[in-house]
Structure 1
Amino acid sequence: MAVEHETELYAPIKAFFEERGYIIRSEVRHCDLVGIRSGSDEPLIVEMKKTFNIALLLQGLERQKLSGEVYLAVEKNRTKKGAHNQRWNEIAVLCRRLGLGLITVTRFKTKSPFVEILCSPGDKVYMPTARVIKTRAERLTREFNERSGDYNVGGSHGAKLMTAYREKALRVALALQEEAEMAPKDVRDRSGVGSAAAILQRNYYGWFCRVARGRYALTPEGVSSLKEYAYVVEGWRRIAATVSEDSVKAEPAAPTSSPQAKTRKKKK
């Protein structure tokens, strides 16, 4: 049951902390909720919003100038869609890094709201292990290095991306285009793609078909893909031409006999 106004979060959060011995007051010096517990000089501060956003985060950082016990409170609604509404673990990690607490309130039609503390101010931040980070970094670097150029537009959503795997599949399709049908070994040799056999067998994009045992050919989709990505193939050719020119320029000139050397030979 979604809340319509953030004020609907106040009552359950107030009751939650009152059960834990706090005296609660609302809207104290622009703070949504302030609580004081007997024996503690540091006030509890809670800032509330219907959903987690940057404004709430900045508000919480500002309240840290008043107290070390600052919580951010938002509604937790399983039916609500959005980029961050279901990523509570990641949001909690972010709050921990900033020294903020995080509270969620789940409202129901037939029972009392459920208040849950996902993290508290001062909680230890548990970082992923170095091995996990290293593995992901290696995948990122490998993907970068296996791409021949920059064929995508940053920030694209829902668009076909030119990945390293798609480039390999294109090279396999280009090799098959030259023959009616080929064996995986021949495709590998002609395309230069070591995993050509696996790409043909997996047929992820539907570009290939098995016409006989150990023989593959292009499907109509495969032919269309070569037209669709002709700009990528042209990019490969430009790169190959540039490398060829550089190789020619780098070749050392054939040694020639100097006039002095010829003179010495005559004297001998």
Structure 2
Amino acid sequence: MAVRHETELYAPIKAFFESLGYEIKGEVRNCDLVGIKPEQQEPLIVEIKKTFNLALVLQGMQRLKLSSNVYVAVERNRAKKGAVNQRWNELVGLCHQLGLGLLTVTHYKTKPPLVEVLCKPASTNGGDRKTAAARPGSRKERLLREFHARSGDHNTGGSTRRKLVTAYREKALRVAAALQGLGEAAPAQLARTAAVSGAAAVLQRNYYGWFERVARGRYKLTPFGEVALSEYAAVLQEQDAETAAGKAVEPDDGGGQRRFAEAPAAYSATTNAEDH
């Protein structure tokens, strides 16, 4: 059963790795799927395409700069006999030489999708690829920080032309929700109410057009902000649920995470345009 979009492969792959103990989130800093396992230093990265092609291989090679635990994943459609992406022995050999893992997803009409591991990354097979620690400010550290700063998995891996729920957008949503309740407020008050340490920067930069300055040091919500709160209501509900359960997380300086029970994550005011 052929899939129409890459996103149809995301849910089975996510469920597969969650069954192995990973926490999974989609579309993290341009990676289709990222997973974290407590006892493993290296993040899991999976790049997804409907068919095996050069673009997928190149993406996989780029991701090896971030982690040694990288898979490429494609659909396995048994009806496409003779197609290049059905020459599995040759593709496995190629991935093995490159140090990439290879996954396939087979969809059926009457039963759940089947995820198969055709080969694992070299690092998981005792290969000699070195595990590099996440240096402060490195791409790997930023990947881990973005992963841990998100309250949940609000994106589907393989999505294109869709607004992504990044850690920065979650932060802006918390500020907007607090401002909606207060009517007008100063940045310091919003920082306390929303538990967002960078509230002033969010208001001043106003990337999404959600905030309006009405007087010196005073802001209110714009109609765009009201629409955003309705559009992302599910994200806010999940944030509230995480906080109530004591599962809110704040990334530590080493790219890991620490949990605290009473306050939601206090995000740094420093951000890049690509994180919005």
TM-score bracket relative to the smaller structure:
0.3 to 0.5
Normalising by structure 2, we get a TM-score of: 0.44
* Greater RCO (Cα-Cα under 8 Å, separation 6 or more): 2
